[in-house]
Structure 1
Amino acid sequence: MTAKPPPRDAPARLLAVLAAFDHAHPALTLTDISKRAALTLTTAHRLVGALTAWGALERDPAGTYHIGLRLWETAALAPRGLGLRQVALPFLEDLYEATHENVQFAVRDGTDVVYIEWLSGRSAVGVRTRVGARWPLHATGVGLALLAHGDTALQETYATRPLAAFTPYTITDPARLRRVLAEVRGTGCAVSSRQVTDDALSVASAVRGPDGAVVAAVSVVVPEQGAQVPALIPAVRLAARGISRALGWQPERVPHEQPEPQPYADDASA
């Protein structure tokens, strides 16, 4: 694997230090940061010191660094983060109470879906989701709901790129992805099974902002075996519409309900 070139200017170096942390590496030593950011140890030490003094990083007694609360406070100002989550949370809680299964809320960031809320019950099926996690759009129920309502250029560009597979059921064929997206647009709901794990199925629906544009998606994830899809679809749609109305969406008329979608053959869930 080719080593990444070191960042050249000061802003790029600071961002490289922060980018060294991810869900797989939430705690790093100074040496780890130096290697992952492609910086000399001296440069990493200086930048980490500045970030720690500001509060973007925190150092524990063992000398390991973590993302600091100051950075979390700043990130909370993002309109597609905490603010959107606060509007959606009552409806997500209602959906959880109705199903007692995993409830997810996500937004699109480029070609990824980023989860900004997740509610899970003790007996809910295991999922590879956490707040802040990101997955490729094609491999998740919420991602399919978001991609289906993206512009044509986004969809075509996405369909022609390599589609990562996580299970034998992940969508990897561009023609099949286009068909799935057309079904999502036609039904208003994405029903996706076994794309990330081979035992889960998700039902997702898009959330609209004040101007009608899709800004997020909500889903419920259940065990694939015995999933009662027809019963889940109205609940997910109701949650999505409730969040949309709370965000200021005012449809001129109630959309005509399409026939209930069924899980895509050989597809998967988020």
Structure 2
Amino acid sequence: MTGAANLDTVLGKAVTILRAYRPEDQVLPLAELVRRTGLHKATVYRLAGELVANRLLDRVDGGYRLSGGLFELGMLASLERSLLEMAMPFLQDLYERTHETVHLGVRDGHDVVYVAKIGGHRQAKSPSRTGGRIPLHCSAIGKALLANSGPDLQREVLTAPMVRRTPHTVVAPGILRRQLARIVETGVAFEHEESALGIACVAAPVFGHDDELVAAVSVTGPTSRYRPEAQVAAVRAAAAGLGSTIARRERIR
């Protein structure tokens, strides 16, 4: 999550309530919302009622859960929606070629936000989820985005504290800087158990009109049987095909 809501406004307090939910949460009692937000109990109760009236929360036994109205709003996000519509045929083709978990991600601040995730019955157990985020430095898709971003962003990430998610996460700025340079040279990024143990990944950046960095595509599998080096050509082809489609759409607008 990036940024913080302004607790001096009603809107800011309402957003703080919505952002109190975590991926694993189903229903949160009023007391837990109060604890997580730090807001007064009466304020949380009143604003939760307003959110229920606007279909952003549902009142259920045991507390409150996020409502389908949020999903509807999310699907109206124009950039991600149009990107997903263009990307889906390439992601599906990539899945059919590899039969491993396929991701599409975009950069938001110092994180990757996953726009899509396709996996079959034998998909690797990974921390990613559609709509979820993970730091740029510890995933192949994130490193592909970071390597092809401007020097200012790279400097921000490399000079800030980097979370070590596993014993294999690269948190040394010098090593990561060399990896980023190599990614630019080869056009692909790798991850070996850096975001979670037991998974490996290869990713390629997606460039649109005028070589603008738009997104990145990746294939992830379990280290017990998956070798990401074997999927370099497939990932590059998917990223290039999606990039060409995006550029063509931009040129005819």
1:245 paired residue number: 244
1:8 paired residue number: 8
With over 3 angstroms needed to count, the CA separation of the structure-2 counterparts of 1:125 and 1:63, relative to structure 1, is: closer
Of 77-86 and 173-182, deviating more is 77-86
Once the two structures are TM-superposed, the CA of residue 222 in structure 1 deviates from its matched residue by 1.7
- 1:153-192 aligned within 5 A: 153-192=152-191
- 1:77-226 aligned within 5 A: 77-226=76-225
With over 3 angstroms needed to count, the CA separation of the structure-2 counterparts of 1:121 and 1:146, relative to structure 1, is: same
Once the two structures are TM-superposed, the CA of residue 68 in structure 1 deviates from its matched residue by 1.4
- 1:56-75 aligned within 5 A: 56-60=56-60, 62-75=61-74
1:43 paired residue number: 43
Q: State the AA in 1 paired with 2:8.
A: R
1:262 paired residue number: none
Secondary structure of 1:202 counterpart: strand
Q: State the AA in 2 paired with 1:137.
A: L
Once the two structures are TM-superposed, the CA of residue 67 in structure 1 deviates from its matched residue by 1.5
Once the two structures are TM-superposed, the CA of residue 147 in structure 1 deviates from its matched residue by 0.5
**How many Å separate the matches in 2 of 1:226 and 1:100?**
12
Asked whether the equivalents of residues 27 and 62 of structure 2 are also in contact (C-alpha less than 8 Å), the reply is no
**How many Å separate the matches in 2 of 1:50 and 1:67?**
13
With over 3 angstroms needed to count, the CA separation of the structure-2 counterparts of 1:45 and 1:226, relative to structure 1, is: closer
**How many Å separate the matches in 2 of 1:173 and 1:129?**
23
- 1:28-39 aligned within 5 A: 28-39=28-39
**How many Å separate the matches in 1 of 2:218 and 2:36?**
34
Once the two structures are TM-superposed, the CA of residue 27 in structure 1 deviates from its matched residue by 2.4
**How many Å separate the matches in 2 of 1:162 and 1:81?**
29
**How many Å separate the matches in 2 of 1:55 and 1:10?**
17
Asked whether the equivalents of residues 52 and 58 of structure 2 are also in contact (C-alpha less than 8 Å), the reply is yes
With over 3 angstroms needed to count, the CA separation of the structure-2 counterparts of 1:78 and 1:6, relative to structure 1, is: closer
**How many Å separate the matches in 1 of 2:65 and 2:154?**
37
2:54 paired residue number: 54
Note the alpha carbon deviations across 1:70-97, whole angstroms, 9 max, x for none: 2211121223322211211111010000
Q: State the AA in 1 paired with 2:145.
A: L
With over 3 angstroms needed to count, the CA separation of the structure-2 counterparts of 1:230 and 1:35, relative to structure 1, is: closer
**How many Å separate the matches in 2 of 1:93 and 1:173?**
36
Asked whether the equivalents of residues 5 and 16 of structure 2 are also in contact (C-alpha less than 8 Å), the reply is no
Report the count of equivalent residues: 246
Alignment gaps of 5+ in structure 2: none
Asked whether the equivalents of residues 5 and 38 of structure 1 are also in contact (C-alpha less than 8 Å), the reply is no
Secondary structure of 2:105 counterpart: strand
**How many Å separate the matches in 1 of 2:101 and 2:160?**
30
Asked whether the equivalents of residues 105 and 216 of structure 2 are also in contact (C-alpha less than 8 Å), the reply is yes
Q: State the AA in 1 paired with 2:133.
A: R
Q: State the AA in 1 paired with 2:20.
A: A
Secondary structure of 1:106 counterpart: strand
Note the alpha carbon deviations across 1:135-177, whole angstroms, 9 max, x for none: 1100001000010111100001110111111111100100011
Alignment gaps of 5+ in structure 1: 251-270
Note the alpha carbon deviations across 1:168-196, whole angstroms, 9 max, x for none: 11001000111011011111110221102
**How many Å separate the matches in 2 of 1:171 and 1:230?**
19
What TM-score do the two structures reach when normalised by structure 1?
Answer: 0.86
Asked whether the equivalents of residues 138 and 163 of structure 1 are also in contact (C-alpha less than 8 Å), the reply is yes
Of 112-121 and 79-88, deviating more is 79-88
Q: State the AA in 2 paired with 1:144.
A: K
Secondary structure of 2:211 counterpart: coil
